[in-house]
Every structure is written in C-alpha cells, then in structure tokens.
Structure 1
Amino acid sequence: ADVNSFIEVVQKYEHITELTPEIMHELIEKIVVYAPEKSSGHRTQQIEIHFRFDVAVATAIADSREYDKKKKAA
C-alpha cells in the first residue's frame, strides 16, 4: 500500500519545474544531517533523506574537496 501511495504522489509531480516547500513536505518525511567529520584536511558530512511511505532512504556525502573544486572553477 505504501509503494502504491508513493508512486501516485511521485507521478503527480513528474513534470515539475520548481521544487516548492509543499512538494517537499508531501514527498519527504525528514532530512537528517550528521555532524561534519574532518580528516586529511577536508570535511565530509553525511545527509540522509527519508521519504514518506517507508519506501526509500537516500544517503549522500557532502565533501568539501568537491565543493572547493566547483568554487574555484566559478
């Protein structure tokens, strides 16, 4: 049942051009941002996105080295 509900909500926003707070509230249960860790002179930080309906959790690692490369290129 959760998967079907999730699919219905995702299909509703299939062609959005802007992510609004309302859409985020409907799709995401919570976002967990862990304390940053620093080693080898750079900082990493883990972020988890928990979607509603208990169907998925996305995890990302923000790395300061990647941010610094993008910042220098700009």
Structure 2
Amino acid sequence: DERFSIMSAGYEDEQKKLRATAAELADFIETAVQKSADVNAFIQVVQKYENITELTPEIMHELIEKIVVHAPDKSSGHRTQQIKIYYRFNVAVATAVADSMKYDKKRKAA
C-alpha cells in the first residue's frame, strides 16, 4: 500500500532526526558536565590563593595554562601588541593590548 510506504518513510525520517537530536543533546550534556568540573577544579586552586600578597611563579603555573604574545602590529602608526592569557582548566581567556603610545607617555612623564 502506497499510503503505508509514505507513512513508514516519514516515520523513519522522524526517527533519524530524533536520534541525531539525542546525540547532540548527549554531547552538549557531556561538554557542560566537563566545563562544570573544570570550573570547580579551578575554583579549588584559586581558593588556596585567596589572600595572596605576591604573585609567584608557582601560583602562575597553577592558575595559567599559557600566555601567547602576538606579533606587533604597526598599522595604526604606533606599535600595539596583543597578549592572551589562557587560564588552566579551560575556564577563561583574558586579552590585553600593549600600546606603545600609552607606554611611552607614562615613561616620559616619570
């Protein structure tokens, strides 16, 4: 029966979509659980250093995964350089831009 074939094909398509959605949701949940574990691990490390008065190499190694200093950019007429700090456990990335104009002004004023 042609009607049964059409319904069967529709059912198969729906099942395929549902399996794909279920797989996506499982991946999302796994990623969320891992991120939560990473954040909790990072918080435990940070809590050890709650009242630090000096940033030591040991503390930096425990909190920071890597620091990337990008090539300088002189397209604006002065030198800028982007710096990215990647914290451990994949919790955050901080970005800063070192600008030679700001640095030079402060240096000359001193």
TM-score category (smaller protein):
over 0.9
Matched positions, count: 74
> For 2:81, which of 38, 45, 49 is the aligned residue?
45
Q: Which has the higher strand share?
A: 1
- Note the aligned Cα RMSD (angstroms): 0.9
Counterpart of 1:63 in structure 2 is: 99
Q: TM-score, normalised by structure 1?
A: 0.94
Q: Identify the structure with bigger relative contact order (alpha carbons < 8 Å, sequence gap 6+).
A: 1
Counterpart of 2:42 in structure 1 is: 6
1:3 Cα deviation from its structure 2 partner:
0.5
Q: TM-score, normalised by structure 2?
A: 0.65
Structure showing greater Rg = 2
Q: Which runs of 5+ in 2 are unaligned?
A: 1-36
Q: Which runs of 5+ in 1 are unaligned?
A: none
Aligned AA for 1:31?
I
